[in-house]
Amino acid sequence: MDKVKVLEKYLPADAAPLIGRWIDYFKCEFKISRNRNSKFGDYRAPFDGKGHRISVNYDLNPYAFLVTTVHEFAHLHTWNEHKHRVKPHGAEWKSNFKKMMQPFFEKDIFPADVKRAITSYLNNPAASSCSDLNLYRSLCQYDAPKEDVHTVEKLPMHTIFKLKDGRVFRKEEKLRKRYKCVEISTRRVYLFSPVAEVEVVEQG
Ligand SMILES: [Zn+2]
C-alpha cells in the first residue's frame, strides 16, 4: 500500500504527505510499533550498516502521533548535523523540533488547545519528550475514551483504586506535584503522578 495512505490512518490526513516526503528525503526506516507502552516513539541513529530508524507507537491519537513523529525526526536531523556531539534534547534538537513543527502549524492541523500546549512546550527550555504534563494532557484529550480508566488527579479524595497489577490504593492529599496514596494491604505510602491511569474500585 502507498506510504501516505498508511500514514493517513495514524496521522491527521493533511500531515501525512509531508511525513511521507521526510521518510524518503532522510532515507529513514519508519515503523509503526505495536509492542511498547512505556515510550511514545524512538529514534535510532545509523549503526552497523543500518540507516536511520524511527518507530512510533500505533495506539497514539493522530495529534500525539504527529507530535511524536516530528519529535523523532528532529532527533534524526540533529544527528545528521551534529552526530553524537550534542545532548539528545539539547538546544540543537529543540531548535530543529521548533522548525520542523512549523509546516504543521501553517497548515492549521492542531486544535487551538493542542497548539497552545505545543507552543508553550517549545518555549520551555526544560521540556523534553513526555515530561510536559500540559502537553500530555491536551494531547490525551483526543484519545478515544477508555472504560473505567481514570487519572489519579480526577479521583475524589479517598477513592479506592486498583492498578493493572491488582494492587489496591486509597487516594490521599496532594504533595507538591504528586498524590499521596496508601496501599491498602501494606499501609505503605506511595506518590502517584497526577496522570497515572487507574481503575476505580470504590468512589471516595
Ligand atoms: Zn526524544
Q: What's the CA-to-centroid distance between 89 and ligand 1, angstroms? A: 6
Domain boundary among 88, 115, 140: 140
Domains identified in the chain, total number: 2
Q: What's the CA-to-centroid distance between 92 and ligand 1, angstroms? A: 12
Same domain, 12 and 95: yes
Q: Quote the cell numbers at residue 175.
A: 504533595
> What CATH number has the domain bearing residue 170?
2.30.30.30
Same domain, 100 and 59: yes
**pLDDT cut 70: percent of the chain above it:** 91
Q: What's the CA-to-centroid distance between 178 and ligand 1, angstroms? A: 24
Domain boundary among 140, 175, 193: 140
Q: What's the CA-to-centroid distance between 193 and ligand 1, angstroms? A: 20
Q: Quote the cell numbers at residue 197.
A: 491511569
CB under 5 Å of ion ligand 1: residues: 129
Same domain, 153 and 124: no
Q: What's the CA-to-centroid distance between 14 and ligand 1, angstroms? A: 24
Q: Quickly tell me which residue has 479521583 as its cell.
A: 155
Same domain, 168 and 117: no
Look at strands 178-183 and 189-192 and give their pairing.
Answer: antiparallel
Domain span at 189: 149-202
Q: What's the CA-to-centroid distance between 155 and ligand 1, angstroms? A: 31
Helices (H), 8-52: 16-25
Q: What's the CA-to-centroid distance between 196 and ligand 1, angstroms? A: 21
Same domain, 116 and 153: no
Same domain, 99 and 175: no
Q: What's the CA-to-centroid distance between 40 and ligand 1, angstroms? A: 9
Nearest to 26 by CA among 78, 95, 90: 78
The predicted-structure confidence for 44-75, as pLDDT tens digits, reads as follows 999 999 999 999 988 889 999 999 999 999 99
Q: Is the pLDDT of residue 129 over 60?
A: no
Same domain, 40 and 116: yes
Same domain, 195 and 95: no
Please state, in angstroms and rounded to a whole number, the distance separating the CA atoms of residues 186 and 163: 15
Please state, in angstroms and rounded to a whole number, the distance separating the CA atoms of residues 71 and 41: 8
In this prediction, residue 183 carries a pLDDT of: 97
Residue 72 phi, psi dihedral angles, 5° rounding: -70, -40
Same domain, 103 and 182: no
Please state, in angstroms and rounded to a whole number, the distance separating the CA atoms of residues 88 and 114: 24
Domain boundary among 102, 118, 140: 140
